[in-house]
């Protein structure tokens, strides 16, 4: 075996919890406590721990029946544990049916039939997935070995009669007393993130896929899905909080447009408030609540006009009636003139006073008649004076009643209001002019007439104003719900705006931290890809530089930057490399994912990687596979013989199996380079050599057969130790420390080193006494002469039988 000068590709180391990294950074960040609490809230409930899935998984065998190119059931046995297995066969041999059988058994899909988005595009192949020569059932059976489990797990996938390819029924045996669904393995996300199977068609798709697809395939390796989930939570919250703002902004233009032509001053006032750089919510609120408008507005004028009160016709009618009644009463007074009655009464009083001053003089001072002012006259004159005073008092009262009634009627006449409609000015002035009419009767007639006319005119004006107010109020009532709806949105915006700003800060901070972690973790992946490229870039002038992710998960322009240099000149990978180099780059990007420490799969299946590779790159691939096989089970399917040739030329340890197809899709698998069979074949060659003497044969043959037993026991020991939960590297180290054949047998039988007596006893119990004897003879090897070397071929047959039993321990 040659030693490669290229550095061994290292498995990307497991990363610490990203949630813990973010929490640690929060403690020293400059974020306010309000913003930091939003980040913590987004992280709550996000699970970044490893799920309870079946891990440390190797392939043991794949059985295919009635599927693709295989008719009756055929089984491909794969050596368990780290190591390289090459499955070769010509095109159409059924080789790819085994490879696709592994993929379909695990995933229920065949990526070869799909485009890069995972959509089924090759329906003809899907329709022909059943083997045409097989009339029995259609099934796949995948045997797996898992860490911590002594017995294999069996994954089956069957199709009922008439079922389509997508209608398969998977089941898992070995996890319990009854079959369980495929989900019991817990590999739904792992099969996507750490897909351990790569077909030739996928190799091409990896480099020609959309940049976002390449990004997604690599990003899953970084283990930052928990942070992406937290970021999505913050983004969803931001979107929810911003929704009211978007709705308010979106509702504003159509609302303004709908209100612009509404002839209502309240509406126009609202439009003005809405059109401000920052809409005046308080003004809208006050308008909805019915805030008073300025006195100068048309609406205020209409309201005053609607409240216009003209003459109180009932009061006028009553006042006119009182005036007319007072006038009539005054006209009915006998001495219509109170002043004349009082003058005559005064004259009589003076005569009576004169008579009282001259009681004996009865002469009238006016007519000088004697004996006129006698006692009888005095009595009559006094009575007449009293009567005249009563008439004067009655006349004064009637005249005062007329004056009071006229004044009361005039008091009903009000001056016109300042904002009285113009067409009422003259009529109102005529009513006011009635105050100047002195004659009571004329006053009554004029006031009654003008009051009726003015009241009727005011009623018509008031009714028109009320009608116009009703129209505008109806329009306003239609507008208020629209304004109230927008105001509710605007209030929600104002209420959530501070929180929205904090959420944006929290999201931006988390995005920045995630980008830093992504860059640091991607560095490890890039280093693994670069070490792999060194194997695959034999005699190439292209050097792979940094592999970086551009953008973020939510960015549609995300992609992968493959920086290469051609003869030390920077260039774009996809623009300068050949087809073979493209496939090599695809392998360099695929293998780090399949080798990730977080992956539960310790096997890697590659179908036809050699195509388009020149001989030097095939040699580099052989050395690369040798290095990876130290820690992983690598299974390569290929119709190209250059890879097995390169393995043999460089003496790289590998199991080479050959698939052959015969009539009616009968497929067989034979070992071309099985280590046990190889050593047995070498022993037979020694036995057949005529130049080898019996003495030499007795010395050499047991040692050669011992190598065959060692190969068989190493296989069983790996399986037994894996069942104890031991890690793969520890298993190889434990096997490497086994110095004697019985030590290997003890590991295979018990999982630990025990005494030889226990080993021989257990082998005899399980496989029979001859197997125990053979192990003992070969363990002593050249130190003990074998008594039956005369029949060397019989001895080798006994060893072959023992290896078969030991391999099945």
| Helical pair 375-411 and 313-332, crossing angle rounded to 10 deg | 160
* pTM: predicted TM-score of the whole model, two decimal places: 0.60
CA distances from 429 to 83, 307, 416, 423, 805 (A): 120, 20, 8, 11, 134
Rg of the chain (C-alpha set): 58
The answer, yes or no, to whether residue 799 has pLDDT greater than 90, is yes
Average pLDDT over residues 347-358: 71
Provide the pLDDT for residue 491: 84
State the pLDDT at residue 800. Answer: 94
Where are the alpha helices (H) located in 310-374, listed in sequence order?
Answer: 313-332, 338-357
Task: Identify the three-state secondary structure at position 547.
Answer: strand
Looking at the DSSP bridge assignments, the partners of residue 144 are 59, 153
Residue 1 has pLDDT above 50, yes or no: no
**Is pLDDT at 393 greater than 60 in this prediction?**
yes
**For residue 766, what are its two tokens?**
């399980």
Determine if residue 95 is left, alpha or beta; phi over 0 gives left, psi from -120 to 50 gives alpha, anything else beta. alpha
Tokens 């107010």 belong to 469
Q: Taking the CA of residue 491 as centre, how many other CA atoms within 13 Å lie in the half-sphere pointing to its CB?
A: 10
> Is residue 42 over pLDDT 50?
yes
Using alpha carbons, select from 47, 46, 25 the residue that is nearest to residue 506.
25
Residue 113: predicted pLDDT: 76
Alpha helix ranges (H) inside 144-260: 188-193, 200-208, 211-219, 225-259
Domain coordinates in residue numbering, the chain? 1-30+207-310+480-598, 52-196+600-673, 312-412, 675-807
Q: State the Cα–Cα distance between residues 729 and 493, nearest whole angstrom.
A: 60
* pLDDT confidence band for 302 (50 / 70 / 90): confident
Please report how the helices 225-259 and 33-43 are oriented relative to each other, as an axis angle in degrees rounded to 10. Answer: 120
Query: In angstroms, how far is CA 602 from the centroid of its own chain?
Result: 33
CATH class as words, domain 52-196+600-673:
alpha beta
User: Which structure tokens are listed for 86?
Assistant: 């090459």
Q: Considering Cα of 659, then 662, then 667, then 669, what sign does the dihedral take?
A: negative
- Distance (Å, rounded) from C-alpha 595 to C-alpha 193? 11
Q: What local confidence, expressed as pLDDT, does residue 120 receive?
A: 59
pLDDT band for position 721 (50/70/90)?
confident
Model pLDDT, residue 422: 83
Q: Strand 83-88 and strand 655-662: pairing?
A: parallel
Using the predicted structure, report yes or no on whether residue 336 has a pLDDT greater than 60. no
Q: What percent of the chain has pLDDT over 70?
A: 83
How far is it between the farthest Cα atoms of the chain? 217
The larger pLDDT score, comparing residue 287 to residue 350, is at 287
The model's pLDDT over 93-123, given as tens digits with 9 standing for 90+, comes to: 888 999 999 999 999 988 777 765 556 555 5
Average pLDDT (632-654) is: 86
Q: Convert the pLDDT of each residue in 514-559 to its tens digit.
A: 888 878 777 777 787 788 888 877 666 667 767 777 766 666 667 6
Q: Specify the pLDDT at position 719.
A: 82
Cβ contact 446:435 at 8 Å: no
Note whether 40 and 26 are within 8 A (CB): yes
Q: What are phi and psi of 186, to 5 degrees?
A: 70, 30
pLDDT at 221 over 50: yes
Residue pointed to by tokens 């119709």: 639
Question: pLDDT band at residue 296, thresholds of 50, 70 and 90?
Answer: low
**Phi, psi for residue 44 in degrees, rounded to 5:** -65, 135
């Amino acid at each position: 075996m040659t030693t490669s000068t290229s550095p061994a590709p290292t498995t990307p180391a497991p990363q610490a919890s990203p949630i813990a990294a973010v929490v640690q950074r929060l403690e020293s960040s400059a974020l306010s406590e309000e913003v930091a609490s939003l980040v913590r809230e987004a992280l709550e409930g996000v699970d970044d721990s490893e799920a309870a899935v079946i891990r440390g998984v190797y392939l043991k065998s794949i059985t295919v029946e009635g599927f693709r190119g295989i008719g009756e059931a055929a089984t491909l046995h794969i050596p368990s544990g780290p190591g390289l297995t090459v499955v070769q066969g010509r095109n159409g041999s059924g080789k790819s049916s085994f490879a696709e059988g592994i993929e379909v058994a695990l995933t229920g899909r065949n990526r070869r039939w799909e485009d890069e988005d995972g959509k089924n595009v090759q329906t003809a192949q899907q329709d022909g997935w059943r083997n045409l020569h097989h009339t029995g059932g259609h099934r796949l059976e995948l045997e797996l070995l898992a860490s911590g489990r002594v017995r294999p797990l069996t994954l089956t996938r069957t199709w009922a009669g008439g079922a389509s390819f997508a209608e398969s029924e998977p089941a898992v045996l070995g996890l319990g007393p009854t079959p369980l669904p495929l989900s019991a393995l817990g590999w739904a996300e792992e099969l996507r993130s750490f897909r351990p199977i790569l077909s030739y068609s996928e190799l091409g798709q990896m480099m020609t896929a959309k940049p976002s697809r390449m990004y997604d395939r690599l990003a899953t390796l970084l283990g930052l899905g928990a942070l992406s989930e937290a970021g999505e939570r913050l983004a969803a919250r931001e979107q929810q909080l911003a929704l009211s703002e978007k709705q308010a902004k979106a509702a504003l233009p159509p609302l303004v447009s709908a209100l612009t032509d509404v002839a209502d001053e309240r509406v126009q006032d609202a439009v003005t408030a809405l059109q401000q750089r920052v809409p005046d919510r308080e003004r809208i609120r006050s308008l909805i609540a019915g805030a008073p408008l300025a006195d100068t507005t048309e609406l205020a004028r209409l309201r005053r006009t609607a409240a216009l009160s003209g003459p109180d016709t009932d009061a006028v009618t009553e006042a006119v009636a009182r005036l007319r009644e007072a006038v009539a009463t005054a006209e009915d007074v006998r001495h219509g003139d109170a002043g004349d009655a009082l003058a005559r009464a005064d004259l009589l009083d003076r005569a009576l006073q004169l008579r009282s001053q001259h009681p004996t003089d009865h002469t009238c001072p006016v007519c000088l008649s004697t004996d006129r002012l006698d006692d009888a006259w005095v009595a009559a004159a006094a009575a007449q004076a009293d009567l005249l005073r009563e008439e004067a008092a009655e006349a004064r009262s009637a005249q005062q009643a007329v004056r009071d009634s006229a004044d009361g009627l005039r008091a009903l006449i009000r001056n016109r209001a300042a904002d009285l409609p113009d067409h009422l000015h003259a009529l109102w002035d005529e009513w006011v002019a009635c105050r100047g009419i002195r004659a009571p009767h004329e006053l009554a007639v004029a006031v009654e007439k003008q009051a009726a006319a003015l009241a009727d005119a005011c009623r018509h004006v008031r009714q028109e104003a009320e009608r116009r107010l009703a129209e505008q109020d109806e329009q306003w009532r239609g507008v208020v719900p629209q304004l109230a709806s927008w105001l509710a949105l605007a209030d929600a915006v104002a209420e959530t705006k501070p929180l929205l700003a904090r959420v944006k800060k929290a999201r931006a901070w988390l995005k920045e931290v995630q980008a830093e972690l992504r860059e640091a973790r991607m560095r490890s992946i890039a280093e693994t890809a670069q070490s792999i490229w060194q194997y695959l870039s034999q005699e190439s002038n292209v050097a792979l530089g940094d592999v970086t992710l551009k953008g973020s998960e939510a960015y549609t322009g995300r992609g992968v930057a493959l920086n290469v240099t051609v003869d030390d000149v920077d260039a774009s990978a996809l623009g300068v490399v050949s087809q073979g180099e493209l496939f090599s780059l695809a392998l360099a990007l695929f293998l780090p994912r399949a080798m990730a420490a977080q992956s539960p799969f310790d096997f890697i299946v590659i179908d036809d990687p050699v195509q388009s590779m020149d001989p030097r790159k095939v040699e580099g691939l052989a050395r690369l596979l040798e290095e990876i096989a130290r820690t992983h089970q690598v299974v390569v399917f290929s119709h190209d013989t250059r890879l097995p040739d390169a393995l043999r030329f460089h003496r790289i340890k590998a199991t080479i199996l050959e698939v052959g197809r015969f009539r009616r899709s009968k497929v067989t698998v034979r070992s071309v380079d099985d280590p046990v069979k190889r050593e047995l074949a070498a022993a037979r060659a020694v036995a057949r050599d005529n130049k080898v003497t019996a003495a030499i044969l007795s010395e050499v043959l047991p040692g050669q057969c011992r190598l065959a037993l060692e190969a068989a026991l190493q296989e069983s020991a790996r399986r037994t130790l894996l069942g104890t939960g031991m890690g793969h590297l520890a298993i190889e180290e434990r096997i490497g420390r086994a110095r004697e054949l019985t030590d290997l047998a003890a590991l295979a039988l018990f999982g630990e080193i025990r005494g030889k007596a226990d080993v021989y006893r257990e082998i005899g119990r399980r496989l029979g006494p001859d197997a125990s004897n053979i192990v003992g003879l070969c363990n002593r090897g050249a130190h003990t002469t074998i008594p039956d070397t005369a029949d060397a071929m019989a001895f080798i047959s006994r060893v072959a039988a023992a290896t078969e039993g030991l391999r099945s321990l």
